[in-house]
Structure 1
Amino acid sequence: MKKAVKQVFQNKARLIGLVLALFFLALFAAPLFVPFDPLRTDMANRLQPISPDHLLGTDHLGRDIFSRMMAGAKATVGTALAAIAISLCIGVPIGLISGFFGGRLDRIMMRIVDAVMAFPDYIVAIVLSGLLGPGLMNLILAVVAVKWVGYARLVRSTVFSEKQKDYIALAELTGLHPAAILKKHLLPHVLGNVSVLATLDIGKTVLMIAALSYIGLGAQPPHPEWGAMLNDGKNYFLHAPWLMVIPGLAIMFVVLLSNLYGDSLRDRFDVKNKKGVS
Structure 2
Amino acid sequence: MKIAKYDYSMIRKWLPVLFLFAYVITVAIAPAFAPYDPLEINMSDRLSEPSEKHLLGTDHLGRDLFSRILAGGRVTVGTGFLVLTIILIVGVPLGMLSGFIGGRFDRYFMRIIDAFLAFPDFIIAIVLSGILGPGMVNLVLAIVVAKWGSYVRLVRSTVLAEKEKDYVLMAVISGLPAYKIIRKHLLPHVMGNVLVLATLDLGKIILMIASLSYIGLGAQPPTPEWGAMLNECKPYFYSSPHLMVIPGIFIMCTVLISNLAGDMLRDRLDIEK
The match for 1:69 is 69
Runs ≥4 residues deviating over 6 A: none
* CA displacement at 1:50 relative to structure 2: 1.1
Q: Call closer, same or farther: CA 1:190–1:245 in 2, change over 3 Å.
A: same
Aligned residue for 2:260, secondary structure, equals helix
In the other structure, the counterpart of 2:268 is 268
Rounded Cα–Cα distance in structure 1 between residues aligned with 2:233 and 2:46:
12
**Separation of aligned partners in 2, 1:57 and 1:131:** 37
State how far apart, in whole Å, the 2-side matches of 1:196 and 1:228 are: 29
**8 Å CA contact retained: 1:196, 1:265:** yes
What letter is aligned with 1:150? S
- Report deviation, 1:7: 5.2
Cα distance per residue 1:118-150 (max 9 Å; x no partner): 011111000101111111111100010011111
In structure 1, C-alpha distance between the alignment counterparts of 2:25 and 2:74, rounded to whole Å: 11
User: What does residue 93 of structure 2 align with?
Assistant: 93
Distance in 1 (alpha carbons) for counterparts of 2:268 and 2:50: 42
Q: Could you say what secondary structure the match of 2:57 adopts? A: coil
The Cα of 1:110 is off from its aligned counterpart by 0.6
Contact between 2:13 and 2:269, CA under 8 Å: does it hold in 1? no
Alignment of structure 1 residues 3-14 onto 2, 5 Å: 11=12, 14=15
Question: Which residue of 1 is the match for residue 102 of structure 2?
Answer: 102
1:238 aligns with 238
Is the CA contact 1:13–1:265 (under 8 Å) kept in the aligned structure 2? yes
Deviation at 1:109, TM superposition (A): 1.4
TM-score normalised by L of structure 2: 0.94
TM-score normalized with structure 1 length: 0.92
Paired residue for 1:46? Answer: 46
SS of 1:176's partner is coil
> Which consecutive residues of structure 2, in runs of 5 or more, have no partner in the other structure?
none
Show the counterpart of 1:210.
Answer: 210
Decide whether the 8 Å contact of 2:42 with 2:63 is kept in 1: yes
- In structure 2, the CA distance between the partners of 1:57 and 1:142, relative to structure 1 (3 Å rule), is same
Which residue in the other structure is 1:253 paired with? 253
**1:67-120 alpha-carbon deviations (Å, 9 max, x no partner):** 111111122111111001000000000010000110111112111110000011
Q: Name the residue aligned to 2:129.
A: 129
Partners in 1 of 2:49 and 2:18 — Cα distance?
A: 33
Alignment size in residue pairs:
268
Percentage of pairs with the same residue: 59
Provide the C-alpha distance between the structure 2 equivalents of 1:187 and 1:55, rounded to a whole number of angstroms.
Answer: 48
Quote the RMSD (CA, aligned, Å): 1.8
TM-superposed CA distance for 1:13, in Å, is 5.6
Change (3 A) 1:19 1:186: closer
Q: Is the 8 A contact 2:44 2:62 kept in 1?
A: yes
2:17–2:199 CA contact under 8 A, matched in 1: no
Tell me the CA shift for residue 251 of structure 1: 0.5
